[in-house]
Amino acid sequence: MNRNHKKLVECLLEHKESWMTADSLAALLGVSKRSIKTYIAQLKQENPAIVTSSRQGYRIQAAAGQRFLADQAAFSPQTPPQRVRYILTQLIRNDATGDTRTDLYETADQLFVSIETLRKDMAEVRRRLLEFGLYLTSEDSYVSLEGAELDKRKLLSNVLYEDFKERIMSFAILQEAFPQYDLKLLKEILLQKCKQYHYFINEYALVNLLLDIAISIDRIRNQKTFREPRAVKCPVGIREQRLAEDITRQIEAAFGIHYSKAEQEEFTIILLSHLMKIDLENLTWENIGLVVSGECLHIVEEVKDILRNSYFIDVDNEAFLVKFALHIHNLLG
């Protein structure tokens, strides 16, 4: 929704006791009568109950209108850093569409700010892009994102991760960010294959991996793929290669995409950076020291003591302690 939608709802709420004609609304908002009808249609498409139409004109449903304004306030980026992240996300997502350009005036409307404010935000946007080797080209009020595909994916992952940190990153929030994809199915594919090949992945690493794969699926579906494999090859064993290939075959079937040789190679690198090669069925508290460091075990013991002495909680479940130690091991990096 843009700024004019908000102004229209506010105007209708001010005159909620009477019917407002398209002509009177157009005069109050400083737009054409045709624009008013378009705004009304767009509002009703999102919420059919928000505005009632008759021969007398238009009247808003007060409760629906107030909810609309509250929702806009809740979800609209308010601070400069939030706006910068929103703009970066729009640039990358528009890059994947037929018209790769982003209209700055339209973006200002979406953010409910002036074009002058947006231009100030764009200075920080350009600085962030340079960190990832990316830049903008411009024509009139339109800008386009330029640079390598891998750098664009890294930027989107970074921006989304910053957004997630404000609400604590979780699987549910990740699904909200990619509502068009069944991430529960993707999660099941990863866990089933990791178990089959005796690899372990903790919940934190799993969410990060799902984010990276969801980004790649979305980019591939929009024909934004790697043209060439990486110049520097990463050594990968036959077993690891088979694991990655098995997973990508299932992803291709489930999400209707195709992994090129370059995409397959990149997927393998991302996948193996999040996994630990462990046979959980044969791992116990007695032999966990073969996998994790002494520092890791010391931290686990300290946490056990704190829970027991301060909170009177005994955590002597072996399965829990093994997985907790692996989680600490991953955090220590």
Q: Which of 68-72, 264-268, 279-283 has the highest mean pLDDT?
A: 264-268
SS3 state at 180:
coil
Q: 82-109: per-residue pLDDT in tens?
A: 899 999 999 998 898 777 899 999 899 8
- Per-residue pLDDT for 1 more than 60? no
What CA–CA distance (Å, rounded) separates 201 from 34?
56
Distances (CA, A) of 237 to 197, 262, 280: 13, 17, 20
Q: Which structure tokens are listed for 209? A: 């991996």
Residue 60 burial class via C-beta count within 10 angstroms: exposed 0-12, middle 13-18, buried 19 and up:
buried
Residue 54 in contact with residue 19, Cβ under 8 Å? yes
- Taking the CA atoms of residue 164, residue 166, residue 172 and residue 177 in that order, the dihedral angle to the nearest 10 degrees is -50
- Per-residue pLDDT for 280 more than 80? no
Concatenate the DSSP letters of all residues of 250-290 into one string. Answer: HHHHHHT----HHHHHHHHHHHHTT-EE--GGG--TTTGGG
Q: 283-327: per-residue pLDDT in tens?
A: 788 888 877 888 988 999 999 888 888 887 877 888 888 888 877
Question: What pLDDT score does 307 carry?
Answer: 87
Strands (E), 109-267: 135-139, 142-146, 199-200
- Residue 179 carries which DSSP code? T
Q: In DSSP terms, which residues pair with 54 in a beta bridge?
A: 57
pTM: 0.67
